Structure formats: C-alpha cells, structure tokens
C-alpha cells in the first residue's frame, strides 16, 4: 500500500482553489439558469408571539417590477408533515420575531426589498417571553438530547461525595446566544420544470435539503434536485433546511420563474437558527492531591415554542475525567425565540467552557498546576459507558503542548507578570469531540484510459473536502491524484449525509474506500486486474457507524495553551499567541487540516472575547443583528497560533484512521482564553464574552503576600 503513504497525509493544495480564486466556482447566487432571475425578499414579524390580524399586500403588488406577493392567504399549501419553522406562510400564527409573514418576488432585489416596506401587517401580540433563567418553573427534561445522547446521567452518590470532598468547586458559567455567520449568507435559487424542482442552494448536504423539499411539496425523489458544489462557509446553520429553501421553491412555483432568495446579514439572526444560551452549574470535589471524587454538570438552555432542540452540552463531561461519582443533566425552557440549531460543535463548545473553567478553578484552589491536575484525572476507561477508549492521547497532547508553548516554570499565582500596561497570563484547557461516521453510498466508474470518476453527495463547505476526498480516492484506487475525477455536492449523486458533527470525511471517505476495494476486487476476479475496454462501474454502500463504536469510546482530543494580555487601564484583551496540539487520528491533508484547526481556534477566541447576541427582553429582538455589533474575531484579533498533531491513527473508527477535525478545534479554546485571562488579571469571568467592561466589574483576587 505504498500509494496510501503518498497522498493521504500530504499537504496538497486545494484542487478547487484555482477556480475559487478566478471566480469560476459558482456559488448558489452565481448560478446561471439561462433566463432572467426574479428576486425574493421577505416581510418579517415584528412580534414574538401572537396572530396576524391584518395583512394588506396591495401597496406592494402595485409597484412596478413586482411579480407577486405571497401571503398566508395565497401561498401554496405545504405538507402538514413539515416540522419547526418549515411550514412557512401556512398560518396567521406568529411564533417568533423575524418569522416570515409575507414574501415579495420582483424583477430586481432592490425592487423586492423596497416592496417589502409597502406590505401592511398588523398583529394581536402577547408579551414576549425570552429570558432564560434557572428558576423558571417551566424548565423541563427533554426525552433525548441531540444526536441521541441521554438527557441525564447519574453514577454513584454525587452529593455525598461533594460534601465529603477535601476541596470543592461550585460555580455557574453562562454562555450567550450566538449566531452562525458564514461569509456567504444562506442562498437558494429555485426553478420548476413542470412538476420537477431544481434548487441551487448553499447547504452542508444536498440530500438533507432534498428530503424536506420532497416532504413539503409531496414530490418523488427524482422530482427534486439540489445542487451545491461550492459553499461559502457553514458552521451548522446550513446543515438543515430553513424557511429560505421553502420560500424560494414556493415563489418559483407561483411565478413560474427562476427565483433566488439570498438572506441579508440581518436576516441571518432570525431565519436560520442560533446557538442556545446556556447556564451551567459545575460542581467538582477532589482530594488534596487533586483526584476528582465527584463531577456534577447541570445545564439549562432554551428551545423555541415550535421545535425542540436539546443541545448536548454536558456530554464532554461524561468522558473527559475520571471520578467515581458523576452527574450530568439538561433542562430546557421553551421561549418565544426562533428555533435554535447546531453551531460550531454544538454542546461540546459551551459545555467545555464550563468544565475546563471549573477544572482551572479547582487547580487554583488546590495549588496544583492545571496541566498536572488534568493528567492526574486521566481515566483508564470511558467513565460513564465503562468501555475501553480507542486511541486516547490527551495526556500526550497536554505534555507536547506544554513543551511547545513553554509552559514550564509558570507561576501558579495570578497577576504576577506585567509588560508596560499589559497584564500577562497563560492558560490551558483540554479539547474533545466524538468520532463517528454515518451511512453513505458511492459510485466509482473505472475507464480503460486509467481515469476514475468517483461520485458521492458529500459537500465541501470550505473545509477542503474536494481535495481530501480526492486524495483518499486516489490512494484507495492505487492511482494518482490527476486520474481521479471527484463529483460531489449534488443530490443526483449517490446518497450521503451532510457535513456536520465532524463526520464528513469519515463517512464519505469510508464509502469511497469500501467502493474502491470492491471495484479492485471485481477487476481482479473478472478482468485479470485490467479495466476492460467498456469500463466498469461499481456502486458501494457504507452502512454507518463502525462496529468498534459499540465496544470502544471513540473521540478526538486536544490541548490548548494560550497567552492573554489585558490592558491594566482599559480592560482590552489580546491573545498574542497560542499552541494547540491534537490527537485527531490520520490527518488526510496537512494543509487544509491546519487551516481548519486554525479556524476552530479562532472561533474559540471569538467566543471567549466577542460573540454575543443580545436580546431585548421587553421587545424580544436581537438588538445587535449585524456584523457591526455582533463581533466576530478577525485577523487583527488573532496572534501567532502554533498548530500541531500527534502521529496516531484510529483504525477502529474507519479504514483511513481519521477522527474528524471539523469541531475539535473550537472545543475548549474559549476556556483556555478565560483561564489565561484569570492568570493575567486575577479575575474569573464566568459569563462569556469577556468584554472590557467586565474587567471593571469586580476587584481582582490578588495573590497573598
Ligand atoms: Mo457542525 S455545528 O455539526 O455543522
């Protein structure tokens, strides 16, 4: 298998790079249907809860260039099987602010947007209920969490162990609502040919969108085609169907035109989901040497009135550290907010902020180095499932990271280093994310010329999947990169799940490897190892989770080391340098993987210092619904980041040995920043983001002496 070593692992340039740089890689908005495109714009509810009492579209209908106005009175009826906010324009009831109550189709986007202002809507509204609090009487336990995780887990006697512990921590951490903001806004272009629908769309997996369009419009599989070869970033909000795809298809059907709907940046804050805020109470009990006896992680978060989205926030606490007594719980409040969705390692990201902050607080209380504290609590087996781990090298990540970062000799006390006006500190946190894979199909056509066409409905949302999948395919087919033509991003291609949950490459790559093996076996058995003149096409199927997922606990791991500087006078926070070391299995493309891990860490800095959607509890809207006021870390906010990974592979998970890298990069990163902030200032900020005003909120706990 010498060719395997040749391509998988190499830092090959993106094969889609030249087309993207030249502007010849068409994104959804840039597709050319060969006819003039009509534009859609939406009227959105200004109340959170209530009913439309009057809706007069006549002002908009009379404007030159307006093609149609869709309202609940005239919009096509969608199937009653659609859930959440997908039955758009199907009733006069309002469930969240920003809900689409009418849509305008016009010859240009300018006309459509102007006409939106001419639609008159009146409501009978109730006061919005949008405040998440732990003392709400209506908190409830969902039946299951996202991705099938159990809602609660209880092992041993947590309260007894906490009461008996030599040292304990009891602290509550809060993370705010956050909104997905890929550079490319959600965009859907729809065209009907008779009873068949074609949609060019920005999403994380065409088959997911196809499923909901089929349901909504009652179509057979061959009556819908969703095409998304290039996607301008996606962090969860493009994983599932949202009202935008439904609206584009409805408008195209009504008008007989090709219709495009591109969300505005402001609309990204109401129509395509968000990350729930969290309130997390962490309790840790330990002996004087820092060995944990008890871990308790209780999570309160929100969902919407019309959907249940139960984020799996405390699940990393179930696997990261040993302790005989343990408890995790999740409770939800149903609020008058838009439906939350997945965003950048949903669950693990806010959950790891709480767990890894609490571990830092415990290290401080014990006077133990926080790296050492984590090493002392390394479990031998998965502490809740009671199965062995697969490859687990968290301790090596911590040790390697400490070495690369220059952790040795760090003063345990806070606020001990200054450089001019800057208070300087360092912090550490662990990272973890599950390793999984999902069912996928693949078709490979071998041609006598030596060329292979590899077809699978995977999607490249900017991660490098175009390139990494080609590398995997070329190795599996024992050929070179140039002999493989990869086709992805089209629901006409063999079925695959979307890019999400860090499962993309594991799922699609495994389907490709299985299919390639079958192809090579058939060539050997039937054609003496040669591709016949008429070629050979093989369809393959990878059924889903690895058998080892039942017998082993499979996860990626990492460790972040961060330096933080805080201006002693203004509270301004900078992150000049960081080191992250990962145990993420086989790294398929060293170049795109490094980019992805860099991006994940930057999102962690962004979460720690900037991102927060502020809701006005009186009026129920997100007041900072644009990038001028919803701050995302930019290049100027990021210093030197050192990314490294261990040379391990996880053959239990998939034949490539990879663990998935989409989400491990962000997990734990915000805690590392917050822990470094504490070390710099002596201030423990338990509610993100760490904005400059919080520096002035409390007096720092200064070291004794
Ligand atoms: Mo990722 S938040 O599972 O798209």
pLDDT at 464 over 90: yes
The helix-helix angle for 669-681 and 348-366 (nearest 10°) equals: 30
Report yes or no on whether pTM surpasses 0.85. yes
Chain segment 661-686, per-residue pLDDT in tens: 999 999 999 999 999 999 999 999 99
For atom 4 of ligand 1, which residue has the closest CA? 236
User: What spacing in Å lies between the alpha carbon of 703 and ligand 1's midpoint?
Assistant: 41
DSSP string, 334-367: EESSPPP---SSTTHHHHHHHHHHHHHHHHHHHT
User: What's the pLDDT tens digit per position in 169-194?
Assistant: 999 999 999 999 999 999 999 999 99
Report whether pLDDT(6) > 90: no
Least confident of 467-476, 486-495, 693-702: 693-702
Q: Strand pairing of 167-175 and 93-94?
A: unpaired
Q: What is the distance in A from the centroid of ligand 1 to the CA of 663?
A: 7
CA of 633 to the centre of ligand 1 (A): 19
Average pLDDT of 360-373?
A: 98
Q: Indicate which atom in ligand 1 lies nearest the CA of residue 663.
A: 1
Residues classed as catalytic: 663
Percentage with pLDDT > 90 across the chain: 98
When pLDDT is averaged across residues 317-334 and rounded to a whole number, the result is 98
d(CA 660, CA 437): 9
pLDDT at 3 over 70: no
How many CA atoms lie within 13 Å of 340's alpha carbon, on the beta-carbon side? 29
Q: State which of 181, 236, 600 you would mutate to test the pocket of ligand 1, scoring each by most atoms of that ligand within 8 A of its C-beta.
A: 236
Q: According to DSSP H, which parts of 98-178 are helical?
A: 109-116, 158-164
Please count the residues of the chain. 705
* Sheet-wide strand order for 484-487: 484-487, 452-455, 440-446, 536-542
Instruction: Please state the atom number of ligand 1 nearest to the C-alpha of residue 234.
Output: 4
Residue 484 contacts residue 449 (beta carbons within 8 Å): no
Q: Return the number of other C-beta atoms located less than 10 Å from residue 626's C-beta.
A: 13
Q: In this predicted structure, what is the pLDDT of residue 698? A: 74
Specify the pLDDT at position 705: 46
342 CA: nearest ligand 1 atom: 2
Q: Ligand 1 test: best mutation among 208, 344, 604, most atoms within 8 Å of CB? A: 344
Res. 4 pLDDT band, cuts 50 70 90:
very low
HEC string of 362-392?
A: HHHHHCCCHHHHHHHCCCCECCCCCCEECCC
Q: Is 164 exposed, middle or buried (0-12, 13-18, 19+ CB in 10 A)?
A: middle
User: Would you give the DSSP letter of residue 211?
Assistant: H
For residues 434-448, give the mean pLDDT: 98
Residue 285: which H helix or E strand, with range? strand 278-286
Mean pLDDT in residue range 115-120:
98
Tell me the pLDDT tens digit for each residue of 543-567: 999 999 999 999 999 999 999 999 9
CA proximity to 332, closest of 345, 313, 355: 313
Element (DSSP H or E) covering residue 443 = strand 440-446
The 10s digit of each residue's pLDDT in 622-634 is 999 999 999 999 9
Q: How high is the pLDDT of residue 702?
A: 63
Mean pLDDT score, 331-343: 98
Residue in the block written with tokens 């758009």: 88
Confidence of residue 653 (pLDDT cuts 50, 70, 90): very high
How far are the Cα atoms of 17, 178, 506, 698 from residue 694, in angstroms, in the given order? 42, 19, 42, 8
Q: From the CA of 100, how far away is ligand 1's center (Å)? A: 25
Ranges of H-type helices in 431-537: 465-476, 504-527
Q: Which of 348, 437, 501 has most ligand 1 atoms within 8 Å of its beta carbon, as the pocket-test mutant?
A: 501
Q: Measuring from each residue's beta carbon to the nearest atom of ligand 1, which residues come in under 6 Å?
A: 204, 235-236, 239, 342-344, 346, 500-501
pLDDT digits (tens, 9 = 90+) for 72-105: 999 999 999 999 999 999 999 999 999 999 999 9
* Residue 343: both structure tokens together: 């965003």
User: What is the number of the ligand 1 atom nearest to the C-alpha of 346?
Assistant: 2
CA of 77 relative to ligand 1 center, distance in Å: 31
């Amino acid at each position: 298998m010498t060719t395997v070593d040749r391509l998988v692992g190499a830092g090959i340039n993106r094969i889609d790079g030249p087309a993207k740089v030249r502007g010849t890689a068409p994104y959804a908005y840039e597709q050319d249907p060969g006819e003039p495109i009509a534009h859609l714009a939406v009227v959105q509810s200004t109340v959170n809860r209530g009913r439309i009492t009057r809706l007069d579209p006549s002002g908009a209908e009379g404007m030159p260039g307006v093609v149609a106005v869709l309202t609940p009175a005239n919009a096509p009826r969608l199937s009653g099987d659609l859930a959440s906010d997908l039955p758009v324009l199907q009733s006069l009831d309002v469930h969240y602010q920003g809900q689409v109550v009418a849509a305008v189709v016009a010859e240009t986007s300018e006309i459509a947007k102007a006409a939106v202002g001419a639609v008159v809507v009146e409501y009978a509204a109730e006061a919005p209920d949008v405040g998440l609090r732990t003392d709400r009487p209506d908190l409830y336990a969902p039946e299951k969490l996202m991705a099938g995780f159990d809602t609660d887990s209880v092992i041993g006697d947590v309260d007894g162990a906490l009461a008996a512990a030599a040292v304990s921590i009891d602290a509550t951490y809060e993370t705010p609502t956050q909104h997905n903001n890929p550079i490319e806004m959600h965009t859907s272009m729809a065209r009907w040919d008779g009873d068949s629908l074609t949609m060019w769309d920005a999403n994380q997996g065409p088959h997911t969108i196809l499923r909901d369009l089929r349901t909504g419009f009652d179509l057979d599989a061959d009556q819908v085609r969703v095409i998304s070869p290039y996607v301008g970033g996606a962090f969860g909000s493009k994983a599932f169907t949202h009202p935008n795809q439904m609206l584009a298809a409805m408008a195209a059907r009504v008008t007989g035109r090709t219709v495009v709907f591109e969300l505005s940046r402001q609309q990204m804050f109401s129509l395509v989901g968000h990350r729930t805020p969290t309130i997390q109470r962490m309790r840790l009990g330990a002996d004087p040497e820092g060995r944990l006896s008890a871990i308790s992680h209780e999570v309160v978060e929100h969902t919407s009135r019309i959907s249940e989205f139960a984020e799996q926030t405390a699940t990393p606490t179930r696997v990261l550290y040993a302790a005989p007594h343990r408890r995790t719980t999740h409770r939800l409040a149903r609020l008058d907010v838009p439906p939350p969705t997945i965003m950048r390692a949903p669950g693990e990201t806010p959950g790891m902020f709480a767990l890894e902050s609490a571990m830092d607080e415990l290290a401080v209380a014990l006077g133990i180095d926080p790296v050492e504290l984590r090493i002392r609590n390394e479990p031998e087996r998965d502490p809740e499932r009671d199965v062995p781990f697969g490859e687990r090298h968290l301790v090596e990540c911590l040790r390697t990271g400490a070495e690369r970062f220059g952790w040795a000799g760090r003063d345990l006390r806070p606020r001990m280093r200054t450089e001019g006006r800057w208070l300087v500190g360092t912090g550490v946190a662990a990272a973890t994310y599950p390793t999984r894979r999902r069912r996928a199909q693949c078709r490979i056509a071998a041609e006598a010329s030596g060329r292979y066409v590899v077809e699978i409905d995977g999607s490249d949302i900017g991660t490098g999947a175009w390139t990494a999948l080609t590398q995997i395919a070329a190795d599996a087919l024992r050929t070179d990169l140039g002999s493989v033509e990869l086709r992805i991003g089209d629901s006409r291609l063999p079925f695959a799940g979307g890019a999400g949950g860090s499962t993309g490459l594991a799922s699609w790559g495994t389907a490709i490897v299985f299919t390639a093996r079958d192809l090579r076996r058939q060539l050997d058995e039937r054609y003496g190892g040669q591709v016949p003149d008429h070629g050979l096409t093989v369809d393959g199927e990878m059924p889903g989770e690895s058998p080892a997922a039942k017998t082993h606990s499979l996860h990626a791991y990492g460790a972040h080391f961060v330096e933080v500087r805080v201006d002693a006078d203004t509270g301004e926070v900078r992150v000049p340098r960081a080191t992250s070391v990962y145990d993420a299995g086989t790294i398929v493309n060293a170049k795109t993987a490094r980019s992805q891990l860099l991006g994940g860490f930057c999102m962690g800095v962004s979460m720690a210092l900037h991102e927060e959607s502020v809701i006005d509890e009186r009026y129920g809207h997100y007041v900072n619904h644009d990038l001028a006021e919803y701050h995302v870390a930019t290049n100027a906010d990021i210093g030197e980041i050192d990314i490294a990974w261990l040379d391990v592979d996880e053959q239990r998970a998939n034949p490539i040995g990879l663990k998935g890298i989409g989400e491990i990069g962000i997990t734990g990163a915000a805690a590392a920043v917050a822990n470094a902030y504490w070390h710099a200032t002596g201030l423990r900020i338990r509610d993100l983001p760490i904005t400059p005003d919080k520096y002035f909120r409390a007096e720092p706990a200064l070291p004794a002496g």
